[in-house]
Structures are given as C-alpha cells and as structure tokens.
Structure 1
Amino acid sequence: MRRPFRWPRLLTPDGGGIAYGGDYNPDQWPEEVWDEDIELMRRAHVTTVALAIFSWARIEPAEGVWDFGWLDRIIGKLGDAGIAVDLSTATATAPLWLYEAHPEVLPRDRYGHVINPGSRQSWSPASPVFKDYALAMCRRLAERYGDHPAVTAWHVGNEYGWNNRHDYSDDAQAAFRTWCRARYGTVEALNDAWGTSFWSQHVASFDEVLLPRHMGGDSMVNPAQQLDFERFGNDMLLDFYRAERDAIEAICPGKPLTTNFMVSTDQCSMDYARWSDEVDFVSNDHYFHEGATHLDELACSDALMDGFSQGRPWYVMEHSPSAVQWKSLNVRKRAGELVRDSLAHVAFGADGVNFFQWRQSRSGAEAFHSAMVPHAGADSRVFREVCELGQLLTALSDAGIQGTELERADTAILFSAESEWATWSETLPTTKLAHFHDVRDWYRAFLDAGRRADVVPLRDDWSGYRTVVLPTVLVLDDADVRRLVRFAESGGTVVVGYATGLVDGCFRVGLGGYPGVGEGQLRDLLGVRSEECNIVSGEEPADGGTLDDPGTDDPGVVRLSDGSTSRLWQQVVTSLAPDAQVLARYEGPEAASWELDGTPAVIVHPYGDGRGVYVGCDLDVDDLARLIRRLPAADAGGDASLIHTRRVAPDGTVAFDFYLNRTAGPVALPAVGGERIVTHRCDVAPDGTATLRRNGLVVVRTAASAA
C-alpha cells in the first residue's frame, strides 16, 4: 500500500508555487543575525526552509530539560515573513549526554569497533533505548508545533543510513534473528535460501543466525546471507522512520511528512522504491559529479526520482550552490551552473528546489561546504545567482508549472536496489560490477543517441513502455522473468545486459546456462545460451602491442565486429535459436587469444509480437549509443547536444518544454512555438532561433491546443 500523495503548502496566497529555500541552522548564529537572514531570504524569493535538523542538543540540552524558546521565535519570524517551515524531528544526531548515559545505543562496525559519537547518526537503528528517546522528541515537537500555521510539513530524520546503514551491534544481532524468523518461518527454509550446505554453514536454530561480521583475512561472506543483511539494514532503518513518522502523525495528522533520500549513482544504498511507499511526497538530496558527466548524471538520478515518485512531483531537499567539502577534490560550480542544475531538477519533475544550506557555517565539519549565503556574504556571485534562481522559479510558479508532471519516454531503464546490493558481493566473477553505474551509462548512451529514457524501479509497472533495458540487473526472480516474457509477447523490446539474470533473490545461480534464472524462460526469450563468463582487465595492449598484435596472451580488451570494444566481461555464447540474428561477434586477435573469435556478442531474437536483445558484453557509452540507434523507436532521435523534457498538466491544458545545453560549447536551438518563460544564458534571434551558451537553457510554455 502506498500512502496518498500530499504536497506541503506554502504561505503564498493560494498555498502553491515551487518550494525554494534550504536547510536553515539559526542555532549556529547569534539571534541578531536572524533578521538579516530573513531579509536576505525575501530578497532571494525564498519560500520555505528546513529547520532544526541537527538541533537536538539545543532543544534538549540535558535529559528532560527543554528549551523551545529560540525555536518559537525563529518559526514566528519566518512565518511572519511568509516563509514556510519544513520542521525536522531533530533526531539525526543525538546530544552527547544521551551517549554518555547510554553507550549501548552506539552502533558497531563489522570488526566490532564502536562507532563513536561526534559525527552524525551514531546510533543503532535496532536500539530500543535510542528509539524511546527519539520518539519522545518527535512527540514533544508535534505537540508544540503541530498546529503552528508556519509549519506546513515534517522532515522526519535526515539521510537515514548515512553513518549506520550497516550495524553489527548486539541489538542488531538480536533484531537480525527476529527478521530472519519473520522472513523464512522455519530454519529449514533459511538453510535452503542461504545454501548452508556449502562450507558447513548449517543453522540448527534461529539463535545460531549470525551477522556477517569480519571473518579474518580475505574470507568471503556467504552471498545470500550478505544480501539478506542488506535487506535487513534497509528494513531496520525503514522501521525506525515509520516509528518517527507515526509518532508525529498520531498527534499532528493533517500535515505531509517526508524524509530525504540520497539518490545519485554513487549514493543509493537503500531500497528507495519501498521507502517511496511510506512518504507523502518523495524528496532527495543530490550532489553533483564534476566533469563532463555532470548534467547527464543529474538527469539520470532525477529520472530515477521521477520513477520513485511514480510521475508525481517530487522535492529536492538538498543540493549544493557550489563546491562541497567531503571529496578529495571539491570543485566549485561555474557561472550559471547553480541555476542550470536547479532548473534541470525542475525539468525532471521537481516542485521543490532547496540547498544545503542557507548560511555557510563558520565552524564545524561542513564549514567549507558552499551555501546560499557564502562566507563572502550577500555581495558575491553565488548569492546573486541564488537571487536570479529565485526570480526564475517565481516566474515558473506564476506560469503554473507547479503540479505538472514529467511526460514519459518510450524506454524504461530498470533499476533494482537488490541488484545494486548484489554487485557489492566479493564472490562474483569480478568485483568491478556496479548496477547503478551501468544504468547511468545506458542513460547517457540514450542521450548520445538523441533520445531520452526513463529510469523505473524493477518492481513497478513498466508495461506501457515500448522498450525496457536491464543493465546488470543481477538479481531476477521467476516472477520478474514472467513479466519480461509477457512484455515481449505483447510487442515490447527487452534489452538484457551481460550480467543480468545470473542469480535469484537468494543468490542461487540459475542452471542450464546463462542467463539462467526463470527456469530457462529468459534464455528462451533472448534465444541464447552462454556457458562461461570471460573476464578481462580492461587495459589496452602494452609492451609495444597494438590492437592488431596485442603482444600478450591475455589481452585486456576484446573487439567486436561492429567496431565496439569490451573491457571487462564477455559471455561465451555457445547456442543460438534458429531465428536469432547476430548483430555483432567478437573478432580479431584479442578475441582469438581468448578463443572467442566469431562468438556471438550482440543478438536480436524475435519473441511473440516483440523481441529480446542480448548484449553479451560490457560496452563503452559511445558503443551503446550506436547500438541504441539500431533499436526500434517511435522517432529517429533528436539533437544529442540538448536535453529536452516536457512537463504536462494532469488535465492536459498546458505543457512546459525544457531545453538544456548538454555541452561545454554553444548549441543552436531552432525556433519553437509557445511563450518563453525562462531564458538563461541564451541569445534569442529575431527569427525565434536561439543559441544556448554553456549552462544555458530555455523553458517554453505551450497551451493545450499546441501541446
């Protein structure tokens, strides 16, 4: 069951508009700064702030001693200024007095080391003691502010799992045993699921179930046990969130609640498809990846957020105005990127655009994390762009964009949290697999082919698409395979990657040849059977070798007959269905060295009214883009130098087209009909054509008749 969609109201006359603002930490500053903050917020068109996220020690400075006066004052000031408050439960980090009184709430790592306080989330989600304290805080806040007109939404917790995703404490051990009992019912079922006959791991009772702690040296964890531990960790934190949410809702039932996900291609450790069922509106913290893939990665992550929200508007709870401080090299944003990134989120369905944080901290671990008001103050490039963004978001709000929804693409790239977790296993043919990275590469390849794809959770309904792509969806159950078969039978195209469908949900390998899950149905759909996996290093020929003469018996790449190159994994396909068509084979001296010369690599197989496409090896993004151009599509593709999305009103009366420059140079945009609502870093000619400079974009509003 999914909770009904509820969106937080703003303090605007009609309660609508794009939510714009960020995390606000007034307790870091003397009160005489607060009025200046609010005046600057008004100048920047800020409409909402997230408050009290890390304020537990200020609210409850000693056990049972409460100080709400400062919070009363700042909420009152914000409300008077027309700025809505997304009030946090303040439970992300506990005060030191709690840790001193109850050290048993601290989590432990796999080596048994205590995760000490001093950072964030130094608490075990399985600790009943910590939960009691956290829920008491939730109730006190709900009782005091539940009816406050300026508090329009609840920010439950913060980035669950950031520091306690994997907990090996005694409380976690007890909870894991309870979780396993609930999942399997009997010890016999658990032994079967975990394959405990291997290495004498048979469990005689649930009291013998262990966490996958450190086992010494390079010992390998049972992959089925490890996958269940990942599920358990997700569920413990989700249960904790539900408990906090329910404690608030029991007292304050009328206001929407959310918690901020962490979705980017290097930061997506939860099963957020399940978490999405438990929030009133989906929200995310996204931090940019510098370099050439900056915008592409943002778009891919946002496409998945739209998938999690099932097409309804979603909320950027945090992103950065410029540089962060937690990487080895922290790159600032160039001129225009602050605005471009923010409006790119809106282009992909976001109706809330918020930063971490409002005013840049003077001390602490995040002092060099950029903020809307930087250390340099309001007389700065960053703050001027913050104000420019506020004006543009106001224009979009006035034009009626809030509540419109992202138009669906033809293709769905399928994402699976369990497959992401499974690729972390050290027992696979290579430890270099990364499901979400492969999702990102396929997404970028679609953009390079001038097309756009959606990213959709595997568990959701994707039957309305023309094509589905499964990049390294390592884990598939029989039910998943049956859905794929029905999709192809009904006329769809199923594109299956080289490491897809190797194991089921218990990490059991499908037999009879690869891909083996689904009792052979996936092989039948694709018209292939592979006997082995060939793994290479990815290194180009060395020691004077060339592509024609690798100079080694173990070349690090394998070429294909269509000019593509595989750098990691090649399936050794030994059987093809009679009606299968080979699009590319392994070819050349590297292939011959690995005894692959002539072996099918990319295969198309008709199935029912549709087809299966098997990509039996990893390919570079450029090679994937060439392959995509050969796949069936509703159109011939567009300009690969632009990202084009459309948001449409649910009643179809209005549409907003976004055109974003995807390159580092200028891009020409032909004349497009409609009213230009936003032109950012864009030169418009009298004939209506435009040139988008670097980080440039255009937003056009079109009436129903033209949409």
Structure 2
Amino acid sequence: MAVSKNVKLPHLFYGGDYNPEQWPEEVWLEDMRLMKKAGVNIVSIGIFSWAALQPGPQTYDFAWMDRLMDLLAANGIMADLATATASPPAWLAKLHPESLPVDENGARYMQGSRQHYCPNSKAFRLYGQQLVRKLAERYKDHPALAMWHINNEYACHISRCYCDECTLEFRVWLEKRYGTLDELNSSWGTNFWSQKYYGWDEIGLPGKTPTYANPGQQLDYMRFMSDSLLDAYLGEHRILREITPELPIMTNFMGAFKPLDQFEWAEHMDVVTWDSYPEPTNGIPVFAAMQHDLMRSLKGGQPFILMEQVTSQVNWRQHNPLKRPGVMRLWSYQTIARGGDGVMFFQWRQSWAGAEKFHGAMVTHTGDENSRIYREVEQLGNELKLLDAIVDSRVESKVAIVFDWHNWWALELDSKPNRDVLYVEQIRQYYQALFKSNVGVDFVQPNADLSGYKLVLAPAMYMVGEGVADNLEAYVQAGGTLLTTFFSGIVDENDRIHLGGYPAPLRKLLGLCVEEFDPMLPGQTNSINVTGLGDADGEYSCNLWADLIRLEGAVSLGSFQADFFAGSPAVTVNKFGKGKAYYVGTQGEESFVNGLLEHILGEVGLEAPLEAPTGVELSVRTTGDQRYIFVLNHLAETVDVQLPEGAFVELLGGSTLHNKLQVEPNGVAILHKQD
C-alpha cells in the first residue's frame, strides 16, 4: 500500500490484533502456522501492552517483544507496532492519581478498565512518551516493522475530562484562540445571563451547571477536547517521525465518531484506519458503507485500512448475534469496494480471560482450523492475494456530501428548537438514497474545492462559517447543483445567529427566506404535495420540522398540505448562474428522498455503473485507465446482473463473462473489462 516512502507490504493488508502476551509462548508457533495458512500478512501488536512492557516507572521488559518481532519476521509477517499507551499500567494511577480523568460531576474515574487517562495529564504524557521513544529506538531497524499504531480508538470511552489540568489548559487554549477577553466575550455573547469575564482565571469548563451552559463555551470546549487528544497523539507522533521518518504513522478511528474532528486529525496520519462493527441483523450495512466513504474522504480519496471488524459476534451490545455464513466475507469486500486497501480483525485469537473473552476472533476458542469461522478467514485471506492490482486505486465519485464536525457539535448542543434533529441521521437519509442508486459518494469539508462534483449535498448545515457561502455560490454559479435542507445557514462559527432572516448567508443562493420554522412534536406529521419532479410527483408524508418559506426567486416544487401554512412551499429550486440550488424545508419520508435524488441524478447525468436489482451494491475503483466494478449481493437469493457489451474478467473466479453475471446470495464479483 502506497502510504510511505518505504513500502514493505505492497498487497492488501490482511490480519488482526495479535495479543500473544496473553498466551504461553508454545502457542505462538501454532499461531504462525495458522496465520500463514490463512494468508495473514500483517498483525497489530502491543496495543494494550504497556504494563507488560514497563513493570515499573524505571523498569522495562522488551525481551518477550524481541522474541515476538523476530518470530514474525522469520515467518514473513509484518508488524503494525502500537505505542501501547491506550491503557496505562496500575503503577501510574498509584503514583499519579491526577492522571485519571474526571467526569462532569467532579468524580474521578478509577483504574481497572482501559483508557483511564486525562489527555492533558503531564504524567501520562511524560511516561507514555518515554516508552514510545524506547520502542522506536529499539525496533526502528527491525525487518518486521511496517507501520506505527499510536494509542487506540482515542476518545472511545473518555472524550471529555473536567480535571484541574484541563481547566488550566482550556484557558491557555482560549487565550491563544481569541487573544483578548473582549474578543472572547463578544464571540460567546457573555452579556447574556451576566456571564462576562474580566480575567482568564474566571473561566471554567462547561461541566455541571444549573441549566444550559453558554453554547459558545460548550462548542469551544468540544474543540478543545478534540485538540487536546490530538496534541497527546502528536506528542508520540513527533518521536516516531524523528526516529523512523520513513515509516507510516496512524491511529484507528471509529467511523462517524462525534468527539474528534477527524478531517483535522487525518492531516497528521499517513493512512486513515478505522474500526467497523455493524449490527449483523440490521440488513444491508448502509451506514457502514457511508462510514467507509467518509474514512476514504478524510485524506482526499486515499485508500484506508479497516483495522478492526469482527469475524462472528461482538461482546459489548446488550445482545450479540452471529454474522451468518458468508456475511463476514461480503462485508469485507464492501470495505475494499469503497476504498479499503486492508481488512483486519479484532482479534487474532479469542481471549480466554478478560472483558472481551466472548468477542469473536479469527481463531476461536476451539483453537484450531476446523471451525466455520477459521475456514471463512482462510478463504478470504487467500482470495485477497489475487487483488494486488486493486492496491492504491481510487473510488469513482461525482457526488459529494458536506460533512463538518464543528457543525455536528453546534447543531446538537442543548437549547435547540428540536433536539431530535441529529446531524448524522440527516446525512444518512440522503446517503441511503444515493447508496440505493449505486452512485459513488465522497465527503468534503464546507470550504473544499467542489469543482469536480456534479452534485453536492449539505443536509442540516446549521453552521455556516466564514467563506462557506461564497464557496457554495461559486460552485453553483459555475454550473454545479447543490441541495441543502432545513435549519441550515442559521449560525456562524461561534454559534451566533446570522441576522437578516434565515438562512441569511444562503438567501441569495437559495432564492428564499425562512420567516419562521415549526419543529414538530414526536408523532406529529404533515404532508407535501410535489408537483415539479416528474416521476417523483405525488403526495408524501413529512415530520420533524416545517419551514415557513417566502420565495425570493426560487420556484416551489412542492407545498405543505396541512396547518395554517398549507399551500406554502416545502421544496424549492433556484437557478443561480449556470447551476441550481435545491432546498428541502422538512423531513420527507424515504420514498420522497429517493424520488427527489433520482430526479436530480437524472438532471446531472449520473447513473449506476451497471443495471442491478435493489439490494445489489455496486462500486467502482480505478487506477490509470483500469476500471474495476465490485458487485455485492446482499440478498438471500441468486441474482442476474446484465453486463454492457464486451468481455469482462471476474477477478476472484478467473472466468470471462459476456452479457450476464450471476451472483449467489452473499456473493461477490469483481469485474475488469478486457481490452
């Protein structure tokens, strides 16, 4: 995978978290045999090994890691070596209880689980960085070392800390951001509720307050915590870059995960990796596909690695059903179809003790190669050896969805007109329609270059910061098509209202003014009569929200049918320059969203790469002039997919196809057109 100047593994990554310190060393040799049989070429090691590597503040034990690294090298398996700082040892909590995080009620967390550290703790950073330096110096030239893995799933359990060290660091962060108290007071609107500050030391964290805290303060605290965790990551990153400048460095994300501004984090990662655990009885994993697309987009389309998934079942939900036969393979290929250059698992060998002993693994509690799980693992690993041509290829996308972590944080703060307006859910509705249409999607930041896209969607773009409206106007003016929805263009980057009528910065582009909005109660509905979308015309149910729109150049495509605003516009389009801007002032039912996007896709000339039944997922990866079409059958029956004229090679089976492809239930095909 082309992620560094020194690529040691030019194949699709295949392997998993390996925790041999949990097992007698005689098991290690059997692990090597089973790994090679299954096609494993890389394992993540040391993620939770701090206590094993450092028994005391000044005592280290690398002997077992030396033997492990040598064993991996001897068997041709590469190491994704972790810095081990994800779970501090008990001695650190004993010596430095202030390193433990504090919750919003002022209670300090205890040692005995994992991730029990404050990211701003000086003791945590000191001892952690000392360990990282020793690891880097010891293994920098080891032939097994392929990549560095810093910490693990930052903010998974502790995304906020309210300790004294965080309070002091927050004040420093604020002074750097605003420069003066006058600027801070203006940005936060502190004349409201007598919150004005006259000294930096008067400012605390927005913890347990009698009622709503200042939203500007809340928003900045979320920014601060994302930055604090990033700064902890960068403290380790700088050491690794200094000692091993040629090796890739990363940490593993958790998909569309609210606490971290992952676009910002990705700037400091050589490759994006993430962990995916869809609930296996919920049908087609559309949300997983969406998150694959998001992770791929964090570095402008560069392939990512799926660092963790499960072979069978997780252990941490209330109920933990199995993936059915073939589903693990199918979902693994979904990863690759959407830009993954690696498929890995948590974990290699199922634990016999500890909190995750019932979490599935590549080798189950049977301990051998005779289980259904291992047979599927072996099949997949050996199939992936056929796909070197896919490595470092890119996914075709002419549609973009705006995704902004700061907007997410601001939109879901308390004291809102309707607390049921959830950012990712609003995006998911529109993404799902695109997924159903088998049209590729990228995710972009609000100020990104949009010129390469035929369609840009920006659902629930509550926050419109500096330059965003100008960027969208320029895109539509040049011929692009934009769609945005209710409760957009409401506030600036400090959560202050854009005055001048909603959505003030977007009024000219959208050709309308929202004079009022009516957040609906749970269970309350209205309907919209659509008359301007061709085949999508008709009456649809809507809920959650209703905008009272005054047209200022836009044309109504559908109107509300009930309440005092019956007959007023609910869906509009405005011609702007060479392009169009659509606005949806309510939450329509699924069939409305599908019809609306089908109509718009037709207007901009976008269609699926093949004709396929609903329930068959298609995606295209390209490299140079080579094009690979992935066909994934999520249905319980065999399907026929019609092929365009010409001959296609199916990479997994090696057959040559004309006119038609047949795909079994949970089946996968990868098509490459012959010259």
Common fold, TM-score beyond 0.5?
A: yes
Deviations, residues 336-395 of structure 1 (Å, cap 9, x unaligned) = 111111111111111111111101111111111111111233321111110111011111
CA contact (8 A) 1:448 1:622 kept: no
Deviations, residues 637-661 of structure 1 (Å, cap 9, x unaligned) = 5544322211111x33x22211112
CA contact (8 A) 2:5 2:246 kept: no
Pairwise CA distance, 1:686: 8.0
> Which residue pairs with 2:96 in the alignment?
102
Matched, 1:581 2:571: no
User: Which structure 2 residue ranges, 5 or more long, are not aligned?
Assistant: 530-537
* Structure 2 residue matching 1:316: 3-state secondary structure: strand
1:302-321 correspondence to structure 2 within 5 Å: 302-321=292-311
CA contact (8 A) 2:44 2:81 kept: yes
Matched, 1:505 2:503: no
> Which residue pairs with 2:252 in the alignment?
260
Matched, 1:404 2:388: no
Pairwise CA distance, 1:687: 5.8
Deviations, residues 649-685 of structure 1 (Å, cap 9, x unaligned) = 1x33x222111124444332123632111259xxx99
CA contact (8 A) 2:447 2:467 kept: no
CA contact (8 A) 1:318 1:354 kept: yes
* Structure 2 residue matching 1:564: 3-state secondary structure: strand
Matched, 1:633 2:604: yes
Q: Identify if the C-alpha distance between structure 1 residues 292 and 163 changes in structure 2 by more than 3 Å, giving closer, same or farther.
A: closer
> Which residue pairs with 1:656 in the alignment?
628
> Which residue pairs with 1:392 in the alignment?
383
| 4+ residue segments displaced more than 6 Å | none
For 1:395 and 1:48, the matched residues in 2 are separated by: 17
Q: Identify if the C-alpha distance between structure 1 residues 205 and 571 changes in structure 2 by more than 3 Å, giving closer, same or farther.
A: same
Matched, 1:559 2:527: yes
Q: Identity of paired residues, percent?
A: 35
Q: Identify if the C-alpha distance between structure 1 residues 152 and 531 changes in structure 2 by more than 3 Å, giving closer, same or farther.
A: same
State which of 596, 600, 609 in structure 1 corresponds to 2:565. Answer: 596
* Structure 1 residue matching 2:667: 3-state secondary structure: strand
CA contact (8 A) 1:159 1:259 kept: yes
> Which residue pairs with 1:691 in the alignment?
662
> Which residue pairs with 1:150 in the alignment?
144
State which of 123, 126, 129 in structure 2 corresponds to 1:132. Answer: 126
State which of 360, 364, 370 in structure 1 corresponds to 2:354. Answer: 364
Pairwise CA distance, 1:577: 2.0
For 1:404 and 1:605, the matched residues in 2 are separated by: 37
For 2:378 and 2:441, the matched residues in 1 are separated by: 32
1:202-213 correspondence to structure 2 within 5 Å: 202-213=196-207
* Structure 1 residue matching 2:665: 3-state secondary structure: strand
CA contact (8 A) 1:641 1:667 kept: no
For 1:62 and 1:576, the matched residues in 2 are separated by: 70
Count how many residue pairs are aligned between Structure 1 and Structure 2. Answer: 658
> Which residue pairs with 1:666 in the alignment?
638
Deviations, residues 197-226 of structure 1 (Å, cap 9, x unaligned) = 11111011211111001013xx11211111
CA contact (8 A) 1:465 1:492 kept: yes
> Which residue pairs with 1:243 in the alignment?
235
CA contact (8 A) 2:404 2:446 kept: yes
Matched, 1:472 2:460: yes
> Which residue pairs with 2:532 in the alignment?
none
For 2:13 and 2:107, the matched residues in 1 are separated by: 42
Pairwise CA distance, 1:531: 1.6
* Structure 2 residue matching 1:674: 3-state secondary structure: strand
CA contact (8 A) 1:429 1:535 kept: yes
Give the letter for the 1:67 counterpart: D
> Which residue pairs with 1:606 in the alignment?
575
Relative to the length of structure 1, the TM-score reads: 0.90
CA contact (8 A) 1:670 1:689 kept: yes
State which of 377, 380, 384 in structure 1 corresponds to 2:371. Answer: 380
Segment drifting more, 162-171 vs 370-379: 370-379
Pairwise CA distance, 1:443: 0.8
Q: Identify if the C-alpha distance between structure 1 residues 636 and 317 changes in structure 2 by more than 3 Å, giving closer, same or farther.
A: closer
Q: Identify if the C-alpha distance between structure 1 residues 380 and 86 changes in structure 2 by more than 3 Å, giving closer, same or farther.
A: same
Q: Identify if the C-alpha distance between structure 1 residues 661 and 269 changes in structure 2 by more than 3 Å, giving closer, same or farther.
A: farther
> Which residue pairs with 2:533 in the alignment?
none
Pairwise CA distance, 1:22: 0.6
> Which residue pairs with 1:550 in the alignment?
none
For 1:126 and 1:248, the matched residues in 2 are separated by: 20
For 2:303 and 2:135, the matched residues in 1 are separated by: 27
For 1:152 and 1:685, the matched residues in 2 are separated by: 36
> Which residue pairs with 2:41 in the alignment?
47
> Which residue pairs with 2:535 in the alignment?
none
> Which residue pairs with 2:209 in the alignment?
215
For 2:607 and 2:391, the matched residues in 1 are separated by: 31
> Which residue pairs with 1:702 in the alignment?
673
For 1:309 and 1:130, the matched residues in 2 are separated by: 29
> Which residue pairs with 2:515 in the alignment?
531
* Structure 2 residue matching 1:560: 3-state secondary structure: strand
Deviations, residues 214-256 of structure 1 (Å, cap 9, x unaligned) = 013xx11211111111100000011111110111222222211
For 1:390 and 1:209, the matched residues in 2 are separated by: 54
For 1:7 and 1:350, the matched residues in 2 are separated by: 20
Give the letter for the 2:305 counterpart: Y
* Structure 2 residue matching 1:39: 3-state secondary structure: helix
Pairwise CA distance, 1:558: 0.9
For 2:237 and 2:407, the matched residues in 1 are separated by: 28
CA contact (8 A) 2:649 2:656 kept: no
> Which residue pairs with 1:111 in the alignment?
105
State which of 18, 32, 56 in structure 2 corresponds to 1:62. Answer: 56
Matched, 1:446 2:420: no
Pairwise CA distance, 1:108: 0.5
Q: Identify if the C-alpha distance between structure 1 residues 289 and 248 changes in structure 2 by more than 3 Å, giving closer, same or farther.
A: same
Alignment root-mean-square deviation, CA: 1.8
CA contact (8 A) 1:22 1:355 kept: yes
> Which residue pairs with 1:349 in the alignment?
339
For 2:429 and 2:634, the matched residues in 1 are separated by: 15
Segment drifting more, 449-458 vs 122-131: 449-458
For 1:8 and 1:318, the matched residues in 2 are separated by: 24
